[in-house]
């Protein structure tokens, strides 16, 4: 009992310490849109997108320059110089940039959306001046495109659209031109000023530059600090704006003990602009065979892990659904869609998403998807409705979710799950202070009481200090049929059953940063991280107290070291190894040290190593990870990764060594013809597999894919070699055309 009181006292002290951050005086917010302005004139002459800035329109366009250095430290007058120009016509927004640079250009990949580690320049567009959401379009100095959506502090680089660009490289500079179709942007014809910024990657010096003076503690693409793109006459949205993306696919598959089978399929995706700021996505019989396979990971926790969404249909304005909750509990998680009760893939019959802005400050999201039945589950209809009201950078938002089981298109009584969510956040105009609160409930048949999930938190962030305190209470009967809950299901290894137990998660973290103006070190980070998880009756479930230090060098190398103390009240017997008794349900206290180093990633050969050693429940865990990457600029990357985990418990609880090996090969014959291969071996999952994909982009956003998949089950023989048996293999051909 005395120990429990001490934990309560520790957490109380951390909360008081966190709240004290808000007392730090802050300078007045700079009026970015008044200071950083670029006027744009309409062009009547055609622009050839070839990267060469010799078109007549560029000679008369206004020039934006005098960029600011953002990384490794904040400074006026970024060197080398960058010049940007913009113009537009009835169909496109045209952007050009001249990036002066005498050093050798660094390119890490020709692959689309691999942007941040290569020399390049990107534009950030906030047509509705929300200061929270933006479109991003970037081009590397080798011509590889990158696009994404920015919302709620995150950038979704899996979003893609159809636009045009090219680059031209000279001895003293490289230049870029892009044409962004106005129809893919969501804007109002009444808006004569858009939020805009640029971010340039100057990798030789490990620097990032902004057109505006984005404060040091914020990532360069943050639209809160955008300047103004001022139109002499606002552009007019195009009517009848839509895209149709049909596909045809065929495959040859062979499963163990089953004769080979040839199948063919077809489907359709479509995008329709309902209004200039509201977009409708439709899909019929979608196929995701071209999506890159997930990289599996070794899991040495007692709970599930979270893998990000990559399917294009779910990505635009995905924050309207996916950003409710916090990382360990998400009411909506789109990767549950298209899976049955045993997490096996099932066909999706159709899907529809209506997302975007009703007004400049009111956002809407509506979604309905119907997936077919499987041997494990009824057919499923899943619906979501979300609205968000913006107040400057602050907001209030709500969401309704409904999952309903169907049999022959008739609702199955008692097969449903429903959720409600309401959240609000205050974000100070300079972004340095924020606070939030959330209330969530679930509804399922024959379940009542303890159905809530509640969040609250406070964060402070300036160039030197970052502090956060947050709390989340998840009750045992909170279900997220369309979402993800990390730790509510507890496995009892003795009874081989799952027990649901709620938890109260509390964190209090503090970071102090030093950015030297000279020397080989670009940044020092000192961190104190604390997490205390309580059972529903406020007895201790788990605590983690961590002290860490990290160092970022100017040559992009990084080093970190940390000490972690952990206490766990294991509620049910659990086993991490296959040859011993489950650990007893009792209190465990242990600690460990960790360290890691990654080399200069700009080199043709780069590597990283990290590991930990120390206690793990009533035993020890020694862990080491190593990876190396060979780069042939600009067309090739070959990487190898190895993970080693040695679990050593007292004799009756067993010992085990868990390993994993991963290798990737990427060859860019051109920007539009790429071959990627992933090989994985994970003995914890008894899995070995190859996924090899050849992609030819024969027209903008129109592709032909040839995918080879070969998966194996790996059975560990007792006292003998491993038995490897083919599980399934397939050869898949797919073509899609963006009309």
Q: What is the pLDDT of residues 74-95, one digit of tens each?
A: 888 999 999 999 999 999 999 9
The dihedrals phi and psi of 20, each to the nearest 5 degrees, come to -65, -20
pLDDT greater at residue 24 or residue 737:
737
Distances (CA, A) of 187 to 96, 191, 203, 314: 21, 8, 33, 21
pTM of the predicted structure, to 2 decimals: 0.82
Strands 687-699 and 154-156: unpaired
With respect to residue 97, please indicate whether it lies within any of the assigned structural domains: yes
pLDDT at 9: 43
Report the 10 Å Cβ neighbour count for 413.
8
Mean pLDDT of 100-115: 90
Look at the chain and report how many structural domains it folds into: 1
- 277 in Cβ contact with 186 (< 8 Å): yes
pLDDT at 715: 67
Q: How confident is the model at residue 289 (pLDDT cuts 50, 70, 90)?
A: low
Instruction: Give the DSSP H or E segment for 32.
Output: helix 32-35
With respect to residue 133, please indicate whether it lies within any of the assigned structural domains: yes
pLDDT at 588: 95
The dihedrals phi and psi of 356, each to the nearest 5 degrees, come to 140, -155
Q: Tell me which of 280-289, 329-338, 478-487 is least confident.
A: 280-289
What's the sign of the alpha-carbon dihedral 625, 528, 535, 420? negative
The dihedrals phi and psi of 2, each to the nearest 5 degrees, come to -65, -40
What's the sign of the alpha-carbon dihedral 45, 50, 51, 54? negative
**Which CATH number covers residue 195?**
2.60.40.1190
pLDDT at 3: 45
**Whole-angstrom distance, CA of residue 87 vs CA of residue 262:** 51
pLDDT at 258: 78
pLDDT at 10: 44
pLDDT at 101: 93
Structure tokens at 241: 């704006």
With respect to residue 662, please indicate whether it lies within any of the assigned structural domains: no
Strands 154-156 and 145-151: antiparallel
With respect to residue 459, please indicate whether it lies within any of the assigned structural domains: no
The dihedrals phi and psi of 3, each to the nearest 5 degrees, come to -60, -40
- 43 in Cβ contact with 89 (< 8 Å): yes
**Whole-angstrom distance, CA of residue 530 vs CA of residue 545:** 5
Structure tokens at 141: 């100095």
Distances (CA, A) of 620 to 91, 119, 563, 584, 647: 64, 44, 15, 16, 6
Residue owning tokens 């998840």 = 474
3-state secondary structure of 257: coil
Whether 299 shows a pLDDT value over 60: the answer reads no
Mean pLDDT of 284-301: 58
Mean pLDDT of 437-464: 95
Long-range pairs of 671-677 with CB within 8 A, sequence gap ≥ 24? 671/110, 671/112, 671/142, 671/143, 671/144, 671/145, 671/697, 672/696, 672/697, 672/698, 673/697, 674/110, 674/111, 676/111, 676/292
- 49 in Cβ contact with 165 (< 8 Å): yes
With respect to residue 129, please indicate whether it lies within any of the assigned structural domains: yes
Average model confidence (pLDDT) across the chain: 87
Bridge partner list, 142: none
Strands 193-202 and 37-42: unpaired
Structure tokens at 260: 């080979």
Structure tokens at 369: 């998807």
With respect to residue 220, please indicate whether it lies within any of the assigned structural domains: yes
Alpha helices per DSSP H over 409-480: none
pLDDT at 722: 61
Domain that holds residue 117: 31-231
- 468 in Cβ contact with 490 (< 8 Å): no
With respect to residue 401, please indicate whether it lies within any of the assigned structural domains: no
With respect to residue 333, please indicate whether it lies within any of the assigned structural domains: no
Distances (CA, A) of 370 to 379, 428, 512: 7, 41, 49
Q: How confident is the model at residue 164 (pLDDT cuts 50, 70, 90)?
A: very high
pLDDT at 717: 52
Whether 697 shows a pLDDT value over 70: the answer reads yes
């Amino acid at each position: 009992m005395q120990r429990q009181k001490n934990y309560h006292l520790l957490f109380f002290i951390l909360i008081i310490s966190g709240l004290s951050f808000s007392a730090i005086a802050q300078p007045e917010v700079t009026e970015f849109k008044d200071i950083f302005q670029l006027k744009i004139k309409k062009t009547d002459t055609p622009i050839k997108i070839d990267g060469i800035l010799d078109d007549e329109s560029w000679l008369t366009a206004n020039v934006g320059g005098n960029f600011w250095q953002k990384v490794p430290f904040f400074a006026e007058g970024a060197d080398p110089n960058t010049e940007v120009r913009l113009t537009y016509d009835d169909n496109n927004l045209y952007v050009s940039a001249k990036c002066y640079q005498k050093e050798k250009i660094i390119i890490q990949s020709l692959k689309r959306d691999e942007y941040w580690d290569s020399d390049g320049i990107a534009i950030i567009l906030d047509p509705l001046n929300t200061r929270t959401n933006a479109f991003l379009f970037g081009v590397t100095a080798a011509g590889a495109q990158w696009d994404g959506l920015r919302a709620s502090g995150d950038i979704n680089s899996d979003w893609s659209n159809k636009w045009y660009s090219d680059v031209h490289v000279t001895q003293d500079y490289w230049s870029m031109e892009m044409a962004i179709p106005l129809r893919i942007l969501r804007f109002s014809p009444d808006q004569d000023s858009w939020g805009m910024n640029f971010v340039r990657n100057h990798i030789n010096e490990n620097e990032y530059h902004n057109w505006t003076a984005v404060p040091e503690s914020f990532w360069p693409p943050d639209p809160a600090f955008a300047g103004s793109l001022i139109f002499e006459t606002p552009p007019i949205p195009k009517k009848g704006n839509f895209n149709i993306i049909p596909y045809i696919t065929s495959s040859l598959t062979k499963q163990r003990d089953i004769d080979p089978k040839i199948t063919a399929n077809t489907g359709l995706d479509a995008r329709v602009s309902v209004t200039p700021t509201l977009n409708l996505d439709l899909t019929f019989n979608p196929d995701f065979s071209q999506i890159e396979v997930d990289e599996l990971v070794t899991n040495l926790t007692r709970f599930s892990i979270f893998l990000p969404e990559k399917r294009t249909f779910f990505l635009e304005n995905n924050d309207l659904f996916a950003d409710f909750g916090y990382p360990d509990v998400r009411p909506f998680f789109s990767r549950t869609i298209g899976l049955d009760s045993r997490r096996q893939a099932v066909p999706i019959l159709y899907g529809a998403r209506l997302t975007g802005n009703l007004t400049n400050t009111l956002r809407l999201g509506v979604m309905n998807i119907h997936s077919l039945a499987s041997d494990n589950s009824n057919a499923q209809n899943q619906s979501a409705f979300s609205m968000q009201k913006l107040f400057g950078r602050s907001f209030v938002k709500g969401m309704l979710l409904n999952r309903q089981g169907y049999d022959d298109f008739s609702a199955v009584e008692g097969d449903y799950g429903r959720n409600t969510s309401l959240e609000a956040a205050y974000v100070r105009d300079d972004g340095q202070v924020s606070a939030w609160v959330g209330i969530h409930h679930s509804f399922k048949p024959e379940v009542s009481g303890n159905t809530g999930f509640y969040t609250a938190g406070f964060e402070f962030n300036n160039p030197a200090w970052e502090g956060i305190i947050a709390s989340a209470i998840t009750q045992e009967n909170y279900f997220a049929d369309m979402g993800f809950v990390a730790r509510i299901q507890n496995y009892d290894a003795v009874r081989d059953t799952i027990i649901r137990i709620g938890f109260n998660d509390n964190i209090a973290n503090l970071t102090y940063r030093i950015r030297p103006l000279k020397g080989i070190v670009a940044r020092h980070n000192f961190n104190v991280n604390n997490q205390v998880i309580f059972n529903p009756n406020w007895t201790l479930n788990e605590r983690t107290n961590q002290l860490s230090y990290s160092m970022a060098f100017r040559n992009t190398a990084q080093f970190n070291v940390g000490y972690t103390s952990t206490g766990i009240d294991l509620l049910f017997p659990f086993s991490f190894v296959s040859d011993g008794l489950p650990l007893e349900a009792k209190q465990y206290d242990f600690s460990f040290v960790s360290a890691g180093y990654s080399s200069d990633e700009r080199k043709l050969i780069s590597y990283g190593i990290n590991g930990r050693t120390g206690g793990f429940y009533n035993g020890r865990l020694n862990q080491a990870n190593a990876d190396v990457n060979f780069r042939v600029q600009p067309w090739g990357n070959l990487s190898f990764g190895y993970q080693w985990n040695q679990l050593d418990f007292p004799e009756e609880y067993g010992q085990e060594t868990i390993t994993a090996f991963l290798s990737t090969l990427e060859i860019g014959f051109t920007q539009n013809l790429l071959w990627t291969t992933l090989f994985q071996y994970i003995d914890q999952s008894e899995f070995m597999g190859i996924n090899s994909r050849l992609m030819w982009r024969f027209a903008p956003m129109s592709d032909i894919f040839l995918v080879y998949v070969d998966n194996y089950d790996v059975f560990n023989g007792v006292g003998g070699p491993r038995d490897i048996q083919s599980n399934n293999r397939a050869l898949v051909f797919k073509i899609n055309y963006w009309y």
